[in-house]
Amino acid sequence: RGLLPYEQAQEAVFCGRGRLIATLAGTLAQAGLVMVTGASGAGKTSLLQAGLMPALARGVQVPGSSSWLRIAMKAGTRPLAELADRLAQLDDRDPAVIRKGLADAPGDAHLLISEIIQGAGAARLVLVVDQFEEIFAATGQDGARERASFIDALCAAATRPAGPRGEPPALVVIAVRGDYWDRCAAYPGLVRAMQQDQVVVGPMTDADLRQVITGPAQASGLTVEPDLVEAILADLRSATD
C-alpha cells in the first residue's frame, strides 16, 4: 500500500506486528487508558486499524471484547464534536445534545457514555483516537477549552466506574506522535498513562521484517524464496545505515 496505512480490511496482509498487537491489547485490558506513540510514519494507524481493532472484534486478546462497541476516530481540531457524532450513531441521539453534555461536564462523560452503550445493548466501548496531535492545532480560548474538555472526557470514560457492572464504560487508546509528548504531559489526566501505560511503535526486528515480506505471499498461497528474503533484508539494512 505504499505510504497508505493498513485498514481493517487489510488485516490478512498486515504482518510483522503480532507481538506489538498482543502487548497493546494486554495493556489496554489492564489499564483502560493507553497511549500509543512513535515517530511520524512508524505505523501507529496501521497497528490500530489492521491490528488492534480486528483482534478485539475476534475477542482473541481481550475476553469479551467481541461483543463490545468500537469507535475509531481522528482527533481533528474539533474533537468534542467528532466524538459526539460518533456516540450519537450508537444510540440514535442528537449529536448537538451529546456535545453540549460533554462540554458542560466532561468529568461526567463516564455517566453519559455508560447510558449510551447500555441503550445500544452493549457492555463496554472501545474508543480509539488516532492522530491525537491534531487537537493542538486549534488556537484561542475556544480551542483550548475544547481540547481540555475532550481530554477530561476521555479520562473520565476510561477511569471512572459507571453502570451496573461498576467499571469504567470505555477503554481508550490515544495515538500521538512522539514529538507532541511534551504537550500531552501538560494534562494531568494523561500523565499516568504516559508513565505507566504507553506502547511505543518502534523499528521492526529482522524476524518482524521477514513476516512482512513473506506473510502477504503466504496469505495468497505463494512462497518467497529464502535468498530473496535475505536480499530484501540486506537492502533494508543498507538503506538505514
Contact 3, 165 (CB under 8 A): no
Q: In whole numbers, what is the pLDDT of the chain averaged over residues?
A: 94
What pLDDT score was predicted for residue 60? 80
What pLDDT score was predicted for residue 61? 82
What does the pLDDT average to over 108-134? 96
Q: What is the pLDDT of residues 38-87, one digit of tens each?
A: 999 999 999 999 999 999 999 988 888 999 999 999 999 999 999 999 99
What does the pLDDT average to over 163-171? 92
Does residue 89 register a pLDDT over 90? yes
Using CA atoms of 126, 58, 45, 100 in order, give the dihedral in degrees to the nearest 10: -20
What pLDDT score was predicted for residue 238? 86
* Cα diameter, the chain: 62
SS3 content of the chain, % helix, strand, coil (to 5): 60, 15, 25
**Separation between Cα atoms, residue 111 and residue 71, nearest integer Å:** 18
Does residue 239 register a pLDDT over 90? no
What does the pLDDT average to over 164-187? 95
What pLDDT score was predicted for residue 8? 92
* Block residue for cell numbers 506473510: 215
In percent, the amount of the chain with pLDDT more than 70 equals: 100
Q: How far is CA 166 from CA 31, 111, 157, 240, in A?
A: 16, 11, 12, 50
Q: Is the pTM of this model over 0.85?
A: yes
Does residue 240 register a pLDDT over 80? no
Q: What is the pLDDT of residues 23-32, one digit of tens each?
A: 999 999 999 9
Q: How far is CA 128 from CA 20, 155, 184, 215, in A?
A: 16, 13, 16, 26
**Separation between Cα atoms, residue 149 and residue 119, nearest integer Å:** 24
**Separation between Cα atoms, residue 141 and residue 36, nearest integer Å:** 27
What pLDDT score was predicted for residue 169? 96
In percent, the amount of the chain with pLDDT more than 90 equals: 90
If pLDDT is split at 50, 70 and 90, which confidence band does 92 have? confident
What pLDDT score was predicted for residue 62? 87
